[in-house]
């Protein structure tokens, strides 16, 4: 007797990974058994589809960045300034604290001791994101080499994740004024960083 395939199992496992790995504050202290249970499958299925924990994290990072790109497209379409985009993306990130925590622990926007196995595919996804933001906010791209564009976009994303994490974990009082201050600080830092680069 063969087993019935689980519909959308890869996406279910990726979403479960965000919830489980994002729900723990220590990096790499999550259980694939917990991920499997949350996804409604066996641990064997998780390893059958993703092979290793590192590949599971790589795939979850790719999935998270794709979602971020889609949300960015919506925010940019509704906004007239990078400040507005930052505030809209901050709202999204605060509303999904485990996704924000997952990004804080595993996203490639934060420097790591070693180059991750998915680094090249990550850089390609970042090019898509940089191009998207550059269309609306040309100072991100003007006369800059690809490395500088990557650094500017990474700075923007790090500020966004850190700000959202600070709010989501009630480390700061969440008011519109505080969010505006965070957004302005991120944009001013980005602008200053882009001038010296």
Written as one string, the DSSP assignment of 9-28 is HHHHHHHHHHHHHHT-SSTT
Q: Counting Cβ atoms within 10 Å, is residue 91 exposed (0-12), middle (13-18) or buried (19+)? A: middle
27 domain-assigned: no
pLDDT at 1: 45
13 domain-assigned: no
- Output the six-digit token pair for 164: 């959202």
Instruction: List all residues 6 or more positions away from 123 whose beta carbon is below 8 Å from its beta carbon.
Output: 150
Average pLDDT of 27-49? 92
Distances (CA, A) of 151 to 60, 66, 118: 22, 19, 18
pLDDT at 36 over 70: yes
pLDDT at 154: 82
Higher-pLDDT residue of 37 and 187 is: 37
Count: domains in the chain: 1
pLDDT tens for 45-94 read 999 999 999 899 989 988 998 888 888 888 888 888 889 999 999 999 99
Pick from 190, 189, 162, 167: nearest CA to 178: 167
Instruction: List all residues 6 or more positions away from 34 whose beta carbon is below 8 Å from its beta carbon.
Output: 20
pLDDT tens for 94-139 read 999 999 999 888 887 877 666 667 777 777 777 888 877 777 776 6
Tell me the residue range of the domain where 124 lies.
Answer: 61-196
Residue listed under structure tokens 């990004």: 103
83 domain-assigned: yes
pLDDT at 197 over 60: no
Pick from 197, 61, 73, 67: nearest CA to 141: 197
97 domain-assigned: yes
139 domain-assigned: yes
Cα angle for residues 55, 89, 94 (degrees, 5° grid): 80
Pick from 118, 10, 9, 110: nearest CA to 58: 118
Pick from 58, 193, 68, 71: nearest CA to 118: 58
20 domain-assigned: no
3 domain-assigned: no
Per the document, the length of the chain is: 197
Lowest pLDDT segment from 13-17, 32-36, 162-166, 190-194: 190-194
> From CA 98, how far away is CA 80, in angstroms rounded?
29
80 domain-assigned: yes
């Amino acid at each position: 007797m063969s087993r019935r395939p689980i519909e959308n199992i890869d996406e279910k496992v990726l979403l479960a990974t965000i919830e489980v790995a994002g729900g723990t504050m220590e990096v790499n202290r999550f259980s694939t058994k917990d991920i499997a249970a949350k996804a409604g499958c066996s641990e064997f299925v998780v390893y059958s589809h993703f092979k290793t924990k590192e590949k599971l994290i790589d795939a979850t990072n790719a999935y998270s960045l794709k979602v971020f790109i889609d949300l960015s497209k919506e925010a940019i379409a509704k906004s007239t300034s990078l400040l507005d985009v930052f505030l809209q993306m901050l709202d999204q990130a605060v509303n999904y604290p485990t996704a924000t925590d997952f990004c804080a622990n595993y996203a490639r926007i934060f420097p790591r001791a070693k180059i991750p196995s998915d680094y090249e595919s990550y850089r390609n996804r970042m090019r898509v994101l940089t191009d998207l933001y550059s269309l609306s906010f040309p100072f991100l791209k003007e006369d800059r080499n690809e490395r500088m564009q990557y650094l500017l976009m990474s700075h923007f994303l790090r500020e966004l994740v850190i700000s959202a994490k600070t709010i989501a974990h009630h480390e700061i009082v969440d008011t519109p004024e505080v969010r505006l201050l965070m957004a302005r600080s991120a944009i001013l830092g980005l602008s200053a960083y882009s001038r010296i680069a």
